[in-house]
A = this chain, B = another copy of it.
Amino acid sequence: VRITRISERSVRLRAGVANAVVNFSQHTVSLVAVHTDALVDGRPVVGLAFDSIGRFAQGGILRDRMIPRVLGADPDDLVDADGWLSPAKLLARAMTDEKPGGHGDRAAAAAALELAAWDAVAKAREEPAYRTIARHFGRTAASPDVPVYAAGGYYYPGADDQELRRELRSYAEHGYRAFKIKIGGAALATDLRRIETAIEAAGDGAALSVDANGRLDRDAALAYAAALAPYGLRWFEEPGDPLDFALNQDVIGAFAGPVATGENLFSHADVRNLLRHGGLRPRRDILQMDAGLSYGITEYARMIDEVEAQGFDWAWMYPHGGHLLNLHIVAALGLGGCEAYPGVFQPFGGFATEELARPGFARPGESPGFGLEDKAALRPEIAELLAATPDPSTSRAGRR
């Protein structure tokens, strides 16, 4: 198998929502296509993926550094012994001459490439990506059904508690049994009122998680921890700065319920430090690293190795990012569950259909690869990417 071309475009999110830190109206995502000369039914296999949601499109890093490195490689150096494209080797090549440390934007850029390679391999094997991934890592998913929760409850412009109640009830009507809302973007008293409204709609505090998106300082995080304790929430997510491991430890010391974090750590080296220094409790606290922001599944597997080495269990891993890439990854590896964004962060948020397989569970489709083509909102974006005139610098032929 040879890569013939790699194309990329920046797609703006259709989202008028904000969390405690970020307004998403200007957010973009990189949609990437890895074109190969493998043929299925006479047509070349094209691997598709994107760099999750929340850390922007990475066209500069892809075009200036990573795509030229991959296209400049000897094609034989990018395949496994069995002749399939190797996502790990593609990643290593994309990272040539990159220094250690500094795991930020480039981790998202590399992830889009690495995940597109998985999509290409699954399509060449004519199977859904979750089967390809599970086989590669020696997992046999008994059932591809994935526990999902509806992440919403953003600070919509002008939103009031009635709207929050309506939003959560709508998720419940669509089959969701667990929910998450944003906190930390308003005064504590206002947030507690929102939480009580949400618990009323959810039916039980144990069905509701709250997410501060890393906004709170130490005093505020401890004040929230004390105020949240009586509600018996499902989890308290990212109380403080994602790199302030001592703060995380202090919050855990003051909060008996589960604390969730990790979505803003993009390497196994950062996750190792969180596990060493963050006070997390095995089989209680939740880990939310997202392969699509973290160099892809190759590095995510290194994170899992670290999780296991430090006595934690991957059934407590719930990746950030409610979309088809993570639905397949969670199904393949038997992780705890997957975030879902019913109706928001389009065209990337959500799965192929808004319908759940059964209450509380989503199921990846059986189309080859991640099935991005099955998602109606993504189809025109994919068509535009594939129809674009190739930039000579992004094709092997053009670089000769």
A182 beta carbon closer than 8 Å to chain B: no
Chain B residues whose C-beta falls within 8 Å of the C-beta of A241 in the assembled complex: 100-101, 269
- Residue of B65, B100, B107 near A242 (CB, 8 A) is B100
Stretch at the interface among A50-58, A166-174, A326-334: A50-58
Least distance between A355 CB and chain B CB atoms (Å)? 31
Q: Is the CB of A244 within 8 A of B264?
A: no
A interface vs B, CB < 8 Å? 10, 21-24, 26-28, 54-61, 63-65, 97-107, 213-215, 241-246, 264-267, 269-270, 272-273, 276-277, 293
Q: Is the CB of B59 within 8 A of A97?
A: no
- Residue of B100, B106, B264, B273 near A99 (CB, 8 A) is B264
Q: Is the CB of B264 within 8 A of A243?
A: no
- Residue of B58, B214, B272, B276 near A101 (CB, 8 A) is B214
A-B CB contact pairs (8 Å), 19 listed = A22-B99, A56-B61, A57-B64, A60-B61, A60-B64, A61-B105, A100-B213, A100-B242, A100-B264, A101-B214, A101-B264, A101-B265, A102-B105, A102-B107, A102-B264, A102-B266, A245-B276, A273-B273, A273-B277
Cβ-closest chain B residue relative to A10: B64
Chain B residues whose C-beta falls within 8 Å of the C-beta of A21 in the assembled complex: 99-100
Q: Is the CB of A100 within 8 A of B273?
A: no
Q: Is the CB of B100 within 8 A of A214?
A: yes
- Residue of B63, B242, B270, B277 near A60 (CB, 8 A) is B63
- Residue of B65, B105, B273 near A243 (CB, 8 A) is B273
Q: Is the CB of A243 within 8 A of B267?
A: yes
Chain B residues whose C-beta falls within 8 Å of the C-beta of A58 in the assembled complex: 60
Least distance between A174 CB and chain B CB atoms (Å)? 28
Chain B residues whose C-beta falls within 8 Å of the C-beta of A106 in the assembled complex: 104-105
